[in-house]
Structure 1
Amino acid sequence: MTSAERTLPELDWSTAAATGVRLVRPGPRVDATHATKAVADLYQYAEQAQGLVRDTARIEAPTDTAPVRVVDRTAWLRCNVESLSGLLPVSERTTATGHITGAQIGAVLAWLSTKVLGQFDLFAPAEVAPGGRLLLVVPNIVAAENELGVDPADFRLWVCVHEETHRVQFTAYPWLRDYLRDHARIVAELTDVGAPGWQDLSRLISTRGGERLTLLDLLPDTVDVRSTIERVTAVMSVLEGHADVVMDRVGPRVIRSVGQIRRRFETRRDGRPGLDRLVRRLLGMDVKLAQYRDGATFCRHAINTVGIDGLNRVFESPETLPTLAELHEPALWVDRMGRTS
Structure 2
Amino acid sequence: MSSTELTVGKAVDWAFAGNVGAWLARPGPAATDYTRNQAIDELAVAARKAEAPVREVTRMGGDAPVPEARIVDRAGWIRAASDSMRVMTGGTDQPSNPITGRVTGAQTGAVLAFISSGILGQYDPFAEGDDGGLLLLVYPNVIAVERQLRVSPSDFRLWVCLHEVTHRVQFSANPWLAQHMSQALGVLTSDAAEDVTQMVARLAEFVKKRRAGDDGPNDAGILGFMRAVQSEPQRAALDQLLVLGTLLEGHADHVMDAVGPAVVPSVQSIRNRFDQRRQRKQPPLQRLLRALLGVDAKLSQYTRGKKFVDHVVDRVGMDRFNTVWTSPQTLPLPEEIEDPQQWIDRVL
The TM-score bracket by the shorter chain reads: 0.7 to 0.9
The match for 1:337 among 341, 344, 347 is: 347
Q: 2: CA distance between counterparts of 1:152 and 1:310?
A: 35
For 1:78, the equivalent position in structure 2 comes to 79
The match for 2:124 among 117, 121, 125 is: 121
For 2:48, the equivalent position in structure 1 comes to 47
Q: Secondary structure at the match of 1:29?
A: coil
Determine if contact 1:216/1:284 at 8 Å carries over to the other structure: no
Determine if contact 2:5/2:186 at 8 Å carries over to the other structure: no
The reply on whether 1:224 has 2:233 as its aligned counterpart is: yes
**Shift of residue 257, structure 1, vs aligned partner:** 1.2
CA RMSD across the alignment: 2.4
**Shift of residue 55, structure 1, vs aligned partner:** 1.0
Q: 2: CA distance between counterparts of 1:216 and 1:94?
A: 32
Query: Compared with structure 1, are the counterparts of its residues 116 and 66 closer, same or farther at alpha carbon in structure 2 (3 Å cutoff)?
Result: same
For 2:310, the equivalent position in structure 1 comes to 300
Q: Secondary structure at the match of 2:31?
A: coil
Determine if contact 1:212/1:281 at 8 Å carries over to the other structure: no
TM-score normalised per structure 2: 0.85
Q: 2: CA distance between counterparts of 1:166 and 1:5?
A: 29
**Shift of residue 241, structure 1, vs aligned partner:** 0.2
Alignment of 1:237-276 (within 5 A): 237-274=246-283, 275-276=285-286
2:151 is matched by which residue type in structure 1? V
For 2:107, the equivalent position in structure 1 comes to 104
The reply on whether 1:139 has 2:148 as its aligned counterpart is: no
Alignment of 1:200-239 (within 5 A): 213-214=221-222, 217-218=225-226, 220-239=229-248
Percent of counterpart pairs with the same letter?
40
Determine if contact 2:25/2:116 at 8 Å carries over to the other structure: yes
Q: Which stretch of structure 1 is more off in the superposition, 226-235 or 266-275?
A: 266-275
Determine if contact 2:16/2:105 at 8 Å carries over to the other structure: yes
Q: Secondary structure at the match of 1:150?
A: coil
For 1:94, the equivalent position in structure 2 comes to 97
1:56-114 Cα deviation digits (max 9, x unpaired): 11112564375411111111111111111111115752154433222111001111111
For 1:321, the equivalent position in structure 2 comes to 331
Query: Compared with structure 1, are the counterparts of its residues 7 and 223 closer, same or farther at alpha carbon in structure 2 (3 Å cutoff)?
Result: farther
Q: Secondary structure at the match of 1:47?
A: helix
The reply on whether 1:286 has 2:286 as its aligned counterpart is: no
Q: Secondary structure at the match of 2:189?
A: helix
Q: Which stretch of structure 1 is more off in the superposition, 109-118 or 3-12?
A: 3-12
Determine if contact 2:19/2:79 at 8 Å carries over to the other structure: no
Q: 2: CA distance between counterparts of 1:86 and 1:55?
A: 32
TM-score normalised per structure 1: 0.87
1:154-175 Cα deviation digits (max 9, x unpaired): 1001000001100000000000
Q: 1: CA distance between counterparts of 2:143 and 2:109?
A: 24
Q: Secondary structure at the match of 1:255?
A: coil
1:24 is matched by which residue type in structure 2? A
Determine if contact 2:131/2:172 at 8 Å carries over to the other structure: no
1:9-43 Cα deviation digits (max 9, x unpaired): 22221331221111011101111111111111111
2:232 is matched by which residue type in structure 1? V
2:310 is matched by which residue type in structure 1? R
Alignment of 1:10-21 (within 5 A): 10-21=11-22
For 1:199, the equivalent position in structure 2 comes to none
Query: Compared with structure 1, are the counterparts of its residues 50 and 254 closer, same or farther at alpha carbon in structure 2 (3 Å cutoff)?
Result: same
Q: 2: CA distance between counterparts of 1:265 and 1:68?
A: 23
Q: 2: CA distance between counterparts of 1:64 and 1:184?
A: 29
1:132 is matched by which residue type in structure 2? G
Query: Compared with structure 1, are the counterparts of its residues 32 and 223 closer, same or farther at alpha carbon in structure 2 (3 Å cutoff)?
Result: same
Q: 2: CA distance between counterparts of 1:103 and 1:213?
A: 26
Query: Compared with structure 1, are the counterparts of its residues 5 and 133 closer, same or farther at alpha carbon in structure 2 (3 Å cutoff)?
Result: closer
Q: 2: CA distance between counterparts of 1:191 and 1:149?
A: 50
Q: 1: CA distance between counterparts of 2:4 and 2:87?
A: 21
Q: Secondary structure at the match of 1:177?
A: helix
Q: 2: CA distance between counterparts of 1:233 and 1:86?
A: 21
